[in-house]
Amino acid sequence: MTEVKGTPIIKGSRTMQITGLYKGRAIIIKDSYSVINKKLKLFPAMFNLQTGPKEVFPYNYYSSVLLANDNRTGVISEACKFVKDIETFMKNIDSIKDCRIDENHFDLEKYSTFYCKQDVRILREGFVKFRNDLLKEFDLNVYDYVSICSIANKLFENRVYFPNGNLYDLSNKPREFISRCIQGGRCMLSDNMKQKSKKKLIADFDAVSLYPSAIARLYTLEGIPKVLKDEMLSTEYLMRHLFDDDQKEPIGEKFMSGFFVLIKITEIGIHRHFPLIVCDPELNPELNVPRSSNTCCLMYVDHITLQDLIKYQGVKCEVLQGYYYDGNRDLRIRDEVKKLFELRLKYKKEGNPLQEIIKLILNSIYGKTILSPIESKITIVNDKDAIRYAIRNYHHIVKFESLDGSNKTIFKLTKSIADTFNFLSLWC
C-alpha cells in the first residue's frame, strides 16, 4: 500500500479496516474475523464448501531451527511424529506436484504453500457464500460493514429502531451515566469459593441463546431521558410510578417506562450464593470484596435490576440520582428476535448453512449499542509530511512512531467523545 487514506479502524492490536492506494488503485483491507468470528477449519461445515485434500499439517515440525539458512527439505519420518493421520499426510505429499523429493524427504515450502493457498481459497469461498446469503435473506451487503455487530445493528435499525421514529441514541452525560448501569456477564463460583468435592456432583450451568432469550422479553424506550427531581429520589416513588410488566404506554400515575439510577445499598435482607449485587471497585474503592458479593455498596442500576434486587435479595437502598423515561414501550423488537430465532431453527433442520449467519447476528445485536466511547484515532502519513502534520495537530497528538520497513509515520491522536452516540438504553 503506497498511501493510506482516511482513518484506519484499529481495536487493540487488531486492524479491522484500512483503506489506501496501491499502484494508483484504491483498495480496502478488512479483517474477516470481525465479521465471521469462527475458526477457518469450521468454514467447510458452516458453508457446505468442498475443501479438496484433507488438511494434515505438521505445524510443530516447522520450527525456526528447521527453517534456518533457508532450508526447504523436510524429513518425512520426522514430520510424521507431528501428525495424527500419517496415511493422509503421505498421500498429500504425493498429490502435491514436485513435493516429494525422495523416499524420505519432501519440499517444506511446496507443502506449506499448497495449504496456504487452500486456506485462502476456503476463506474466500466462505466469505462470498456468507455475503450472498446475507444479501438474499436480509438485503445487506457485508462489504459495507466492518463487523458482525455493525451488520446486526443495521438489520435492527431497519426493522425496529427507525420504523418507530421516536427512539434516540444518547451521547455525553446521559450516555455515560446509563452505560454504567450495564453489568457484564459474570463467571463465578458459588460464594466466590473454590468448589472441590470427590463425593458429590458439581453443577456447571450454561444455556443456549442467552442474548436472544433476554431480548425476546425486552422493549425499547421511546423519547429522551429526563433527570429525576428531588421528590422522585426514593425506591417507593420509583416503584409506584413504574409501568407494570405488560404496560405499553403511560396511564395515570404509572408514567415511568424505565429509569436508570445510582443507589446506595443500606441493607441486604437475603444473602445469595450468586448475588445480584455488583460492587464496582471504581465506585467503591474502600471495599476490598469480589465484584459479585453480598455487600452494601454504591451501584448503578436500571429499573429491572432494582426490581430484582428488592425481590430476590430484599435490598433496601437510597436513590441518589438518575434519569427516567416517560414515553411508550415499543415491543416490536421481541417479534423480530423471535422471527430470526424461528428462521434459524428452520434452516438448521434443513441443514442450510444460513442458520450459522443468523446465529452470529442473534449473538451480536447488542454489540454496537453498548460500544464504549472511542477516545483516540490513528492517522498514517508519509515520512516527508510527518513534521508538517505534527505541527498542525500537535494539540491532539498522544504519540507517534515510524512504521518499520516503510516510509510511513503512524500518529495516535485524541478524539472527542462528544461524537459518540449509541442506543444503550435497550440493554439495561
Share of the chain above pLDDT 90, in %: 68
Same domain as 8, residue 69 = no
CB-CB contact of 211 with 362 (8 Å): yes
| Confidence band, pLDDT 50/70/90 cuts, at residue 46 | confident
Same domain as 60, residue 22 = no
Higher pLDDT, 82 or 190: 82
Same domain as 74, residue 24 = no
Residues 241, 247, 249, 254: what is their CA dihedral angle, to the nearest 10 degrees?
-10
Q: For residue 24, is it within any domain? A: yes
Domain with 55, as residue range(s), is 41-125
Nearest to 325 by CA among 422, 239, 223: 223
Q: Which residues contact 88 (CB under 8 A, 6 or more apart)?
A: 53, 54, 56
Measured at the CA of 159, the angle between CA 227 and CA 350, to 5 degrees, comes to 135
Q: For residue 65, is it within any domain? A: yes
Of 327, 361, 391, which marks where a domain is finished?
Answer: 327
Same domain as 26, residue 51 = no
Cα distance between residue 170 and residue 172, in whole Å: 7
Q: For residue 149, is it within any domain? A: no
Cα distance between residue 401 and residue 420, in whole Å: 27
Same domain as 320, residue 229 = yes
Q: For the chain, how many structural domains are there in total? A: 3
Same domain as 280, residue 323 = yes
Same domain as 94, residue 47 = yes
Cα distance between residue 301 and residue 262, in whole Å: 6
Same domain as 309, residue 231 = yes
Measured in residues, the chain has a length of 428
Q: For residue 303, is it within any domain? A: yes
Residues 335-387 have pLDDT tens digits of 999 999 999 999 999 888 889 889 989 988 887 777 777 788 899 999 999 99
Same domain as 6, residue 81 = no
Same domain as 87, residue 61 = yes
Of 68, 103, 125, which marks where a domain is finished?
Answer: 125
pTM to 2 decimal places: 0.81
Cell of 71: 532450508
Same domain as 106, residue 12 = no
Q: For residue 104, is it within any domain? A: yes
Share of the chain above pLDDT 70, in %: 99
Helix 148-156 and helix 354-362: axis angle, to 10°? 80
Q: For residue 367, is it within any domain? A: no
pLDDT for residue 276: 95
